Amino acid sequence: QVQVTESGGGLVQPGGSLRLSCAASGSIVSMNRMGWYRQAPGKQRELVAIISTDGTTNYAEFVKGRFTIARDYAKNTVYLQMNSLKPEDTAVYYCNVLGLRMGFVRFDSWGQGTQVTVSS
């Protein structure tokens, strides 16, 4: 099994910053794409940012220039640095990891989410 654990959410004022972390653990053979998604109340889950094995990144338009995704290959960890936060960034942020686990079986695992609230 593969476990995905997020941390780093919280309450921040508009214009502030937060850094989310996501660690994957378990019987992992290799990690492929890692990413962050978010879901605000009453809305569907949406892509925020993803990073591939070769370091290629993709961002949603609404976070370009404000958020940065990065990964630590040795630690099976992905980060999301969020700057210039806006109230509309308020949501539960979820980490998603794709890869291969023991037996070379593909996995597509989600974390339980971490709440980010941007409010004065």
Q: Which residues contact 21 (CB under 8 A, 6 or more apart)?
A: 6, 7, 8, 77, 78, 79
Cα 61-15-120 angle, rounded to 5 deg: 120
Instruction: List 44's β-bridge partners, or say none.
Output: none
pLDDT (mean) for 82-100: 97
The pLDDT of residue 1 is 86
Q: What is the largest CA-CA distance in the chain?
A: 49
Q: How far apart are CA 8 and CA 3, in angstroms?
A: 17
pLDDT in tens, 37-87: 999 999 999 999 999 999 999 999 999 999 999 999 899 999 999 999 999
Q: Please answer whether residues 34 and 108 qualify as being in contact, where contact means their C-beta atoms are separated by less than 8 angstroms.
A: no
Task: Categorize the per-residue pLDDT at 116 as very low, low, confident or very high, splitting at 50, 70 and 90.
Answer: very high
